[in-house]
Amino acid sequence: MPNDIDAEPQFVLERTKTLIKLGQPEENTWVLSRSEDALPQERPAIVPVSLWLEHGDQSELAPWLASDAELSAELVERLAKAPLIAIDFPTFNDGRGYTLARLLRERFGYQGEVRAIGDVLVDQLYYMSRCGFDALALREDQRLDDALRALGAFSVSYQPGVDINEALFERRLRESNPG
């Protein structure tokens, strides 16, 4: 589970020690606040989307979306300006975050960082990266070397994804008929 660095009654800040960004380990500079009431003092900070909408003009703030968030046109327009959008996985069996990431990348063309937070499991990392997540915040009980190995678990994918937007049969047809 994430490490609590500030356990005041109103704030619970988390700082993931193990972050993988674009397939490589990277130092995490962002804290995660789950408080809906007030902004944390520590920055840069990822805060609930409702709080971010109130204070989103600050460059050192980024929103996190709950897995059941609805991407309205107004919200998507505001999110386009965010440097990072975190999507929460409250439990390992809640896959709605995959859809949110894919919508942000493919339908709405979001170019910033899309980070998976919460109950992010090593065996899901490959699929998360195919859906548009480029940053993965691992739980503290997970090992970095296992996570990096899991990202490369498959060398070929049958279905199109955000990373390779062509199905395997389409690639094979293209390669067999070059011209």
pLDDT digit string, tens, across residues 133-174: 999 999 889 999 999 999 988 988 889 898 888 999 999 999
Distance separating alpha carbons of residues 119 and 58, to the nearest angstrom: 28
Percent of the chain with pLDDT over 90: 72
Q: What is the mean pLDDT of the chain?
A: 90
What is the distance of C-alpha 13 from the center of its chain? 18
The structure's pTM equals 0.87
Which amino acid is located at 7 in the chain? A
Closest CA to 22 of 113, 109, 101: 113
Task: Tell me the pLDDT tens digit for each residue of 64-103.
Answer: 999 999 999 999 999 999 999 999 999 888 999 999 999 9
